[in-house]
Every structure is written in C-alpha cells, then in structure tokens.
Structure 1
Amino acid sequence: MKVASLPPSAELVRAIRTGDLFVAVCSGAEIWNVCRGCESGAQFLASRGYVFRQIESCGVHDVKGHYFVLPVPDNATKATEMMWLRDHGIPFEIGKEWSPAEVFEYLRDLGMTKGGYWSTGNFFPDGLDVRWNK
C-alpha cells in the first residue's frame, strides 16, 4: 500500500470541518470515504490506493457518487487503515449502527486500534461538528 502524507491545505481543513471529507462506511469489506468538492482530499485518498466509485447512494447517505473506496480483506487491515485515517485527521461518522466510529471502538476493544479518534455528524446538539473522542 502506498504511503501518503496529508497535504497541508486550507481546502482540506475546510472539507473536514464542513463535512465534505469523512469516513462514511467501514462495516463490511471496504472503507468508503465521502469526499465532495475537495481536489486535495481526492488526490490524498487516491495516493493511498482509494478509488472513486460512482454510487447512487449507500442507503444511509445521499451523496450521489462522492465515494472513494478501499477494499479491506480483514479486520487487521481495516484497523491499520482506520488508524492511518485517524492519524491524518479524517473523522469517522457517528450515529448509525456500526458507524465508522463504532467500528473503530469495536476494533479498539479487540486491541487492534488504540487511542481516540475524530468524529463528525449532524447528531451533535449544535449541528455538524468535528470532535475528538477518547
């Protein structure tokens, strides 16, 4: 797998803060990142091996084709990738059953991930937010 560095761009920070770049799904054999209107985010994910996939909807999100997808054949690979995404500031969506945040916590309970993570969602009382979770 390629190693990418997070581009230190204002565009990327804006995309994370406005909910245009986040991990949307990772409960199966793939990790799906939403990346809308953020060229540096798209390049960042592509350099890591994520591929753009035209998807109408995944049932939970109505983002119409803004997914960058990476296959993860097992929980060890998924845990490694989730730690890498977390270490690069990409938040995990919260709120639904087996959300990326819940998957990270489950893998942490198994000893496969460590520490906290960034989360995002419209589930906070004051609207969309990115927060650190221990």
Structure 2
Amino acid sequence: MMMPANYSVIAENEMTYVNGGALIDCFAPIMNEGNWKTFNTNLIKIVGNYSMTKFLSSTVGVLFGGNFSFSNWGDTLEGNYYVKDNAFDTVANVLGGLAAIYTLGTGDAKTLHTDKVLGVKGAL
C-alpha cells in the first residue's frame, strides 16, 4: 500500500498521544504571537497601574516625605506589602510592586511643568 510521504499509520489507541494540544490550536487563527505579547504587556501594565499608588507611597513617599526613618519605612512596607499570616496577599502585593516598576520603566510619566501651566510662584 502506498502512502504519502507525510502520512503515518497510527493505531487508534495511540491517538491520545498525538492529538494533544488540539484546544490550543483553536485559538491559533484568533490570537497570534504578537497578540499574546500585547495581551501580556497590557495585563502587567493594568496590575502596575493598580499598584502604583501603594508602591510610590511606600518607597518614594517615605524616602522624600520629610520624616524618613528606617522604622517608619519598615512599618509602611509592613502595612502595604507584608501581610502577617497571609502569604498569598504578600506575594500578590510584591508582584504588584514589580508590575508598577515595569510600568514606570516602559512609559513616560506625566510631569507637572510640561502638562500644566505654572505661575511664577509654582501655583497652577
């Protein structure tokens, strides 16, 4: 019996091993590699935007807030990032902080002097 070069005869009980991943193939025409990259980047930026206020207030806000001390900083980090007896929240908060860092690193921040008109005394 003659078969095409790219054809192989496989027993029915072996089809389980070669038919895996068929569900992933359903999305192939809809989402290509570029779409998945955009989806992942946008998801990280959404999480980063959500965590941005907490991240900035816990780091830059404490450092430049005028009353910096290591105990003050530790208390702020413990309240915002480290959650006692809840490892999942702690990990989620740290991942949110990392997403905020990624978001800050991939886009331009709006600045007051270029986005608003300031008066001589610095008031809007």
Instruction: Tell me, yes or no, whether TM beats 0.5.
Output: no
Whose helix fraction is larger, Structure 1's or Structure 2's?
Answer: 2
Higher relative contact order (CA 8 A, sep 6+): 2
TM-score bracket for this pair, using the shorter chain length: under 0.3
Structure with the higher fraction of residues in strand conformation: 1
Using the size of structure 1 for normalisation, the TM-score is 0.21
Computing the radius of gyration over CA atoms, which structure comes out larger, 1 or 2?
2
